[in-house]
Amino acid sequence: MKIYTPADPIFLIRINIKQQSEKTEHITVYETTLDECYNFTLSILNQQKMMPNVRMRTTVEFREALGGENLKTISLSFHGLNPKQTKELLLKYIKG
């Protein structure tokens, strides 16, 4: 018999993509920093030619997590894509 010792928790970045009246989408990434995720997402969104829709603001939250503990959070908001479209766009660039 051995005593269970859990592995060290992995440092993650949780990305939550929200919009009022829409399902929240999630992406979890690792081996990156909060600032890298923010700048990466911002550069992708700036490349897109989005049609502004003032009523439908999408917010992307970037949250550091270590194990079950949430740490620092930053966010950005924009108009033009819903959460599902935003998630698909980010995944396209993340997967390369």
Number of neighbours of residue 58 by Cβ within 10 angstroms: 23
Domain membership of residue 42 (yes or no) is yes
Question: Three-state DSSP class for 48?
Answer: coil
What pLDDT shows up at residue 79? 86
Closest-CA residue to 31 (of 10, 7, 58, 53): 10
In a domain, 22, yes or no: yes
Q: In a structure prediction context, what are the per-residue pLDDT tens digits for the chain, which is 96 residues long? A: 878 777 888 999 999 999 999 999 999 999 999 999 999 999 998 888 665 555 688 999 999 999 889 999 999 998 889 999 999 999 999 998
Query: What is the amino acid identity at position 47?
Result: Q
Any domain includes 46? yes
pLDDT value for 51:
56
Assign 80 to helix, strand or coil: coil
What's the total number of domains in the chain? 1
> Helices H, strands E: what count in the chain?
2, 4
**Residue 38, pLDDT score:** 94
The interaxial angle of helices 34-47 and 83-95, nearest 10 deg, is 110
Does residue 3 sit within a domain?
no
